[in-house]
Structure 1
Amino acid sequence: MARIRFARYAVPVLLSLLLAACAAIRPEPPRVMPGPPKVLRSPARPSVEGSWTSPEGATVSQLRHGVFTTVAADSRARLASGNYEIKDGMVEISGYSMVRQSPLAIRCLHVAPNQMNCTNSDGKQFVLRRAQGGV
Structure 2
Amino acid sequence: MRTVRLLAASAALATLAGCQMAGPGSGPVVRAPSGVEGDWVGTDGVAVSRFSNGAFETYARDTGNKLAQGSYTMRDSRTIDITLTSLIRQTTSSVACSMATPSQLNCTSSTGNQFVLVRRSGVS
What's the TM-score, normalizing by structure 1?
0.64
Q: Where does 1:64-103 land on structure 2 (aligned, <5 Å)?
A: 64-88=52-76, 89-103=78-92
Q: Which runs of 5+ in 1 are unaligned?
A: 1-45
Write the distance in 2 (CA, Å) between the matches of 1:134 and 1:121.
Answer: 30
Q: Counting helix residues as a fraction of each chain, which structure ranks higher? A: 1
Q: Which runs of 5+ in 2 are unaligned?
A: 1-33
Give the greater-gyration-radius structure (CA). Answer: 1
Report deviation, 1:57.
1.1
Write the distance in 1 (CA, Å) between the matches of 2:64 and 2:86.
Answer: 15
Amino acid at match of 1:68: F
Report deviation, 1:134.
4.0
Aligned residues: 91
Question: Does residue 1:115 correspond to 2:109, yes or no?
Answer: no
Q: Where does 1:1-135 land on structure 2 (aligned, <5 Å)?
A: 46-88=34-76, 89-135=78-124
Deviations 1:19-47 (A, max 9, x none): xxxxxxxxxxxxxxxxxxxxxxxxxxx41
| Aligned-residue identity in percent | 39
Write the distance in 2 (CA, Å) between the matches of 1:55 and 1:118.
Answer: 12
Q: Would you identify which runs of 4 or more consecutive aligned residues in structure 1 move more than 3 Å?
A: none
CA RMSD of aligned residues (A): 1.5
What's the TM-score, normalizing by structure 2?
0.69
